[in-house]
Chain A
């Protein structure tokens, strides 16, 4: 029931009184109208723009957001209005839908934004009114094509490592840019197609005379050479065809496809010729077969996108072409008949029959005008001129349709190519943004712990070092942190920009405390910001780091705005993995996060690992050993005091 008509329901019910005297049995009770509210104006505040409407207007469509009690979720008690943090422009259309029962689609609006809004308000797009429906569907189709394109190229680009040989071959055939070999193959076949076509052409050129006989075409004069060339080309084509047949995912479908038919037709004449060389009877047919060799030129369509588009256009304009043909045929028959009877009287007329006049009509209608058949009578001339005038019209009508189809398809292809090119840039941007955010997370982890460390160490003035993160960011980071804790893994940043420069500590070395200290101090003295950056990539006990080398990576501390004073040599928390002595490799990794390496972690290398965290404190070197050797403070937070398993354990603790 349409919305506006709902307003007439009281009338229809009242009119039902007309049935009452006629009825034989008692009527059912009317439904009680609970909650009978007086109609009131409600205010809808959409991003600051206030719309007002009657409550009953909205209740016309009870299964949408505004018509149901769902809107109560958006009710603002303080201002007694419903607040929606959405686009007011689109809301205008939505509200008009409630008022008039017709949903319109504004042309200036982006289709996906509009769809999102409709989905938010719980309105199905199918009820868009007829006036705007076509536009909406067109835009939606374009958008879907775009999405499909994106998906396709994504799928193409994802390297599927487990492609079988056959699949790799097929991909190489279909898309020559995938590998060098494919490209080579592509050009080689293209070259041979060209060679084959040129030989076909040159074969027929008269090549000078052999003394004592008439002029021969080149093909007969150098028949051996041409035969060899032909054989070579056909060999290549045959090999190519067989390879494609082998690699095709669905051989049956491949055999039926147009390109493969062209291939077959291109090479068949040669084989047929081989088979029936000396049979005089069929040599005539054999000559005809050679004509089919010209089909080899169609093989170029694999190499040229424009040609493919042309073919596709012709296919899609089949109806227009059919109409063209039909109307031409009609016109030809009409005019040929007329011309025949008009010229019947004249002597020595070339218009001997109606089919003979067809030639004249065609030549005239297409404005060729060879002049081999010319009307001589006056009537003939009159009709002849009418014929040529109408020819122009009949041909000119369907042609623009075909042209516009071609143009549309061509531009669509151009757009697809453009999008693919832009996609690379887009993906790069997206990647940078992603790594940026994960860097931010790791960075804030460091900062957070640093802050805590500083507080612990009683350095109140350094409390808010580093970038202040927004509440959302910090909550997000906390979430990631919790995930890390849960799984015992940690995030790895693989970006070369953030490679970590550890000090001179190499892996596969045992380290003792002192040396480590010294190393730390040294490097910290050297260049402040870039040292001691945590190996953002590691987290003790991690899958990635536990057996990997992490030496000598450089990183630039984003944190370079540290106040330079005592914090200069401040190091972030670092962790050192020390494995049990039976393990030859020692991974030294610094992580921004101190760990309770014990329970939470499930190191993937099944070695006993001890993770410790070291806080280096901004103290003069002399103090360092003290700092380091200080027993782990009993502080809140993830304290680690890990009993050393081996003697070469570096203790610590951290926060």
Chain B
């Protein structure tokens, strides 16, 4: 059933992405309006994730409230995320985040994707969390973090702060930050960071380890 849903959604999204005002757009809108996604049964989700039933219920209620159709597309995702960071521009980072959550890359985050991601972030082991973070940084998902990818991520994070910061944001601050990061992480100095280097370096850093535990009790 998931596959069928995914197919439907893919069809819909691919058709809609270039916004042509043609005859198709009417039908597209109709299809879009009728695309609804129902999540898997509660028990199944409970088994797949590390949340309890009650937590799942709470999460789903919030999710469904914001997205009655059951899926989040990138626009909505960006909107929601920008509500939390009113001063800066969080669209770029939200885009990366969306890609990180959208594990099957169908352009929409369903509740299952959502739960999967949250399960890792909130209830996963440190290894899993670091894995997830690596996945986030690796924009093209090729297993290596290059300096350019890191720079994009860094710029996106700094963008979220906005213009009114103290001290004032310098032009090359992201680049500097990337350099620092690579110095720390890139053990063999080959200009890319692999997953093992990443995990190893992080595990050596106490601050990072501690901060990974920070959001345990979010739900």
A residues sitting closer than 8 Å to B (CB atoms) are 1-2, 4-5, 7-27, 29-30, 33, 38-39, 54, 56, 99
- Pairwise interchain contact B153-A22, C-beta atoms closer than 8 A: yes
Q: Which of B36-60 contact A (CB under 8 A)?
A: 54, 58-59
- Pairwise interchain contact A9-B84, C-beta atoms closer than 8 A: yes
B residues sitting closer than 8 Å to A (CB atoms) are 54, 58-59, 61-63, 65-66, 80-81, 83-84, 97, 100, 114, 117-118, 121-122, 129-130, 132-133, 136-137, 153-154, 157, 177, 180-181, 185, 198, 202, 207-208, 210-212, 214-215, 217-219
What are the residues of chain A within 8 A of B66 when measuring CB–CB? 4-5, 7-8
A2 and B86 CA atoms in complex are apart in Å by 12
Question: Can you list 8 A-B contacts (CB < 8 A)?
Answer: A1-B83, A2-B83, A10-B219, A11-B118, A16-B215, A17-B129, A26-B207, A56-B58
- With A22-B154, A30-B215 known to touch, is A14 a contact of B121 (CB < 8 Å)? yes
- Pairwise interchain contact B133-A17, C-beta atoms closer than 8 A: yes
Cβ distance A21 to chain B, nearest Cβ, rounded Å: 5
- Pairwise interchain contact A30-B118, C-beta atoms closer than 8 A: no
Q: CB within 8 A of A20: which of B58, B65, B133, B218?
A: B133
Cβ distance A344 to chain B, nearest Cβ, rounded Å: 48
Other than the given A10-B118, A23-B207, A99-B65, 11 more pairs (CB < 8 A) read A4-B65, A8-B84, A10-B59, A13-B218, A14-B121, A14-B218, A20-B212, A21-B181, A22-B154, A26-B207, A30-B217
Closest residue of chain B to A32 (Cβ to Cβ) is B217
Closest residue of chain B to A6 (Cβ to Cβ) is B62
What are the residues of chain B within 8 A of A54 when measuring CB–CB? 61
A5 and B136 CA atoms in complex are apart in Å by 23
Closest residue of chain B to A1 (Cβ to Cβ) is B83
- Pairwise interchain contact A14-B80, C-beta atoms closer than 8 A: no
What are the residues of chain B within 8 A of A56 when measuring CB–CB? 58
Closest residue of chain B to A99 (Cβ to Cβ) is B65
What are the residues of chain B within 8 A of A15 when measuring CB–CB? 97, 121
What are the residues of chain B within 8 A of A10 when measuring CB–CB? 59, 62, 118, 122, 218-219
- Pairwise interchain contact A26-B215, C-beta atoms closer than 8 A: no
A647 and B65 CA atoms in complex are apart in Å by 90
What are the residues of chain A within 8 A of B54 when measuring CB–CB? 38-39
A4 and B208 CA atoms in complex are apart in Å by 32
- Pairwise interchain contact B80-A22, C-beta atoms closer than 8 A: no
- Pairwise interchain contact B130-A19, C-beta atoms closer than 8 A: no
Nearest 9 A-B pairs (CB), nearest first?
A7-B62, A14-B121, A27-B211, A26-B207, A20-B211, A10-B218, A5-B83, A4-B65, A18-B136
- With A21-B198, A22-B181 known to touch, is A8 a contact of B62 (CB < 8 Å)? yes
- Pairwise interchain contact B80-A8, C-beta atoms closer than 8 A: yes
What are the residues of chain B within 8 A of A14 when measuring CB–CB? 117-118, 121-122, 215, 218
What are the residues of chain A within 8 A of B207 when measuring CB–CB? 23, 25-27
A99 and B62 CA atoms in complex are apart in Å by 11
What are the residues of chain A within 8 A of B133 when measuring CB–CB? 17-18, 20-21
Q: CB within 8 A of B214: which of A1, A30, A39?
A: A30
Closest residue of chain B to A30 (Cβ to Cβ) is B214
Q: CB within 8 A of B84: which of A1, A21, A99?
A: A1
- Pairwise interchain contact A17-B80, C-beta atoms closer than 8 A: no
A10 and B207 CA atoms in complex are apart in Å by 22
A2 and B129 CA atoms in complex are apart in Å by 29
